């Protein structure tokens, strides 16, 4: 290695070591204080700035160009490794680097690398299909090299002591006793979780989830028929009698609805339920209510709209009084009160005044309709008379035979 390369490497090496003992905001000041000969060697570090214009970006398949994204974890080792990684990427590999974060939890970096837009929001990480990420790696400075059996029963012998990161499912808690002040790892209580190690707090379970165990790294989703409308809970709340939910992770009692083949007969504004069995001629999917039956729409979509079946009709003033139509074609179904071809009355039996049923719809009464209406009774009377005339002899004989 050339002498100047060695000297540059020497400076960079001590910068990294200095970073391990300081916070990022004090970096420049601390380097000036703690690195002997920094002022004399500063010209070498300044010379590195000239190479910035020669550094390259990453280029994706679409031709878009952007720097290497580095997610920073918000603890001392995370800040320190970020400084070291930037040195390696810039001066050894020749890439431009941009820092993202910092994140309080390890999992935040995972979501950032996946391309989620809000990696630190535990209720909505902003993930979606076809995400493009601008964060490419995160370094955990504490995960390697910590034995799992180094807790000691006594702190009386300093030679036996070794600090290590608290494991996932726990948080660090201050302990003061007669011996000294220290920190212990305390299991996350029920209703909370912690997926990361080296954490100072546990996170409350979000809405729609719960955790009934301690020392957990995640929460459980509320299942069918239950919901949870508060954070940090150890159980879920059952839906009212006769109701259930359409899926998991329900966050409100409004997610509860009458079970399939039943319908809520109480007003929706009351937030109460009285689920009544749906009879013949009425289709009732999950969450059916009188309001959704009358309006012909439901918040969950068309598949959850209750409706009168074809061949049946219900009066709007009594929407659960289902009547069967003959012929069935007169009643198309759907919302209560629906009749075909302009028919009215129950069960879709008559046309309005001045109109007559043509077989498919109500029509204005014209000359042909009047003749038809008058001729039908006359023809019926003629058929009856003809029947008696033709069969009079047979009937007489039958009567004589019976006598």
pLDDT digits (tens, 9 = 90+) for 301-332: 999 999 999 999 999 999 999 999 988 989 99
DSSP state of 332: -
pLDDT digits (tens, 9 = 90+) for 366-396: 645 544 555 555 555 555 454 344 333 333 3
Between 271 and 248, name the one with better pLDDT: 248
Burial of 264 (0-12, 13-18, 19+ CB in 10 A): buried
- Label residue 111 left, alpha or beta by phi (over 0 means left) and psi (-120 to 50 means alpha): alpha
Q: Output the pLDDT for position 150.
A: 42
Mean pLDDT within 274-298 = 95
> Phi/psi of residue 293, each to 5°?
-65, -45
Is residue 46 over pLDDT 60?
no
Q: Output the pLDDT for position 98.
A: 86
Query: Long-range contacts made by residues 116-122, C-beta under 8 angstroms, separation at least 24?
Result: 119/71, 122/203, 122/206
Mean pLDDT within 166-180 = 83
Entry pTM: 0.53
pLDDT digits (tens, 9 = 90+) for 128-149: 776 778 887 777 655 444 444 3
The SS3 of residue 96 is coil
List the domain boundaries for the chain: 3-138, 165-238, 259-364
Question: Measuring CA to CA, which residue among 126, 90, 102, 66 is closest to residue 8?
Answer: 90
Between 11 and 277, name the one with better pLDDT: 277
With tokens 């390369």, the residue in question is 5
pLDDT digits (tens, 9 = 90+) for 252-262: 999 999 999 99
Query: 240 pLDDT band (50/70/90 cuts)?
Result: very high
Q: Does the domain made of 165-238 have the CATH classification 3.90.320?
A: no
């Amino acid at each position: 290695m050339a002498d100047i390369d060695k000297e540059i490497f020497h400076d960079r090496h001590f910068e990294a070591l200095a970073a391990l003992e300081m916070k990022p905001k004090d970096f420049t000041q601390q380097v000036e204080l703690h690195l002997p000969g920094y002022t004399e060697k500063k010209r070498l570090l300044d010379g590195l700035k000239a190479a910035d214009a020669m550094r390259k970006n990453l280029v994706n398949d679409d031709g878009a160009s952007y720097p290497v994204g580095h997610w920073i974890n918000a603890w001392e080792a995370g800040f320190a490794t970020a400084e070291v990684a930037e040195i390696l990427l810039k001066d050894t590999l020749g890439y431009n680097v941009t820092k993202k974060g910092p994140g309080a939890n390890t999992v935040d970096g995972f979501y950032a690398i996946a391309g989620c837009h809000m990696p630190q929001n535990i209720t909505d990480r902003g993930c979606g299909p076809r995400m493009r990420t601008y964060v490419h790696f995160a370094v955990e400075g504490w995960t390697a090299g910590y034995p799992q059996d180094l807790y000691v029963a006594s702190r009386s012998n300093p030679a036996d002591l070794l600090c290590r990161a608290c494991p996932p499912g726990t948080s660090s808690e201050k302990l003061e006793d007669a011996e000294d002040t220290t920190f212990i790892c305390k299991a996350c209580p029920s209703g909370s979780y912690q997926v990361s190690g080296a954490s100072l707090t546990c996170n409350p379970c979000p809405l729609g989830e719960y955790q009934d165990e301690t020392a957990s790294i995640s929460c459980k989703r509320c299942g069918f028929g239950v919901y949870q409308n508060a954070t940090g809970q150890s159980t879920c709340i059952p839906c009212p009698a006769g109701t259930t939910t359409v899926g998991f992770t329900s966050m409100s009692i409004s997610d509860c609805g009458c079970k399939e083949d039943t319908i809520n007969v109480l007003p929706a504004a009351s937030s109460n339920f009285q689920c009544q069995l749906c009879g013949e001629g009425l289709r009732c999917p999950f969450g059916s209510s009188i309001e959704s039956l009358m309006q012909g729409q439901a918040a969950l979509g068309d598949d959850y709209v209750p409706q009168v079946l074809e061949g049946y009709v219900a009066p709007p003033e009594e929407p659960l009084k289902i009547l069967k139509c003959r012929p069935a074609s007169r009643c198309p179904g759907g919302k209560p009160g629906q009749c075909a071809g302009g028919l009215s009355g129950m069960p879709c039996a008559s046309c309005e005044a001045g109109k007559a049923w043509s077989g498919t719809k109500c029509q204005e009464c014209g000359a042909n309709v009047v003749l038809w209406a008058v001729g039908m009774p006359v023809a019926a009377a003629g058929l009856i008379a003809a029947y008696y005339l033709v069969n009079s002899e047979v009937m007489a004989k039958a009567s004589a035979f019976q006598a």
